[in-house]
Structure 1
Amino acid sequence: MANPDGVAADQLRAFVERIERLEEEKKVISDDIKDVYAEAKGTGFDIKVLRKVISLRKKKPHEREEEEAVLDLYMHALGMAGAAGEG
């Protein structure tokens, strides 16, 4: 029900509480992800490269190809020819 100021306090409270719960869940998940990265690092994997692999897997093949083409163009413009595909 709306209070005299025109704010539906119960509805607002429900939204705030839902957001707070989701923020807490997000924190727990974020902590879990950090633990997995730490475990991978402890096993000898390069975390920086692992993060890049995760990022690339989120993209569609044509998006990755376009990004690589632009990166190659920029690298050539900076005199770093051939560096984009090497690694």
Structure 2
Amino acid sequence: MEATIGHNSAADEPATKLAKEELKSLIERVERLEEEKKAMSADIRDVYAEAKGKSFDVKAMRQIVRLRAEDPEKRADREAILETYMHALGML
């Protein structure tokens, strides 16, 4: 017995078929995007491996990438708080 979406009346069959096709299309798009994401992740790993091979500090590079992606205003606020805490602890 086949599972259906919606009601089981004959009038709903075209709508059910469209819903199934739409669902299948959405699932396939997600699957393609997941594959692209895997490929991108592998490419990013390769770039970091190349950087490491050229004696760059990958940990620092990752941090810089995160900082550059962050909103400049929010980053400035966070850094100000960090500096205040470090000063309070005698670290500066």
Normalization by structure 2: what TM-score?
0.74
Q: How many residues align?
A: 79
Identify the residue that residue 91 of structure 2 maps to in structure 1.
81
Runs of 4+ in 1 over 3 A off after TM superposition: none
C-alpha offsets along residues 31-72 of structure 1, whole Å, 9 cap, x if unaligned?
000000000011001111000111111124322211111112
Q: Shift in Å at residue 4 of structure 1?
A: 4.2
SS state at 1:5 partner: coil
Determine which structure has the larger helix proportion and give its number.
Answer: 2
Instruction: Tell me the percent identity.
Output: 49
- How much is the aligned-residue C-alpha RMSD, in angstroms? 1.9
Given the superposition, is the C-alpha separation of residues 10 and 75 from structure 1 closer, same or farther in structure 2, using an over 3 Å criterion? same
1:38 aligns with 2:33: no
The answer on whether the counterparts of 2:48 and 2:58 sit within 8 Å (CA) in structure 1 is yes
- Partners of 1:52 and 1:67 in 2: how far apart? 14
**Separation in structure 2 between the aligned mates of residue 11 and residue 69 of structure 1, nearest angstrom:** 49
State how far apart, in whole Å, the 1-side matches of 2:82 and 2:54 are: 31
| Counterpart code for 1:28 | A
Structure 1: gaps spanning 5 or more residues: 83-87
Provide closer, same or farther for how the CA distance between residues 73 and 21 of structure 1 changes in structure 2, counting only shifts above 3 A: same
Deviation at 1:76, TM superposition (A): 3.8
Counterpart amino acid of residue 81 in structure 2? V
Distance 1:21 1:45 in 2: 33
Structure 2 spans left out of the alignment, 5+ residues? 7-15
Structure number with greater Rg is 2
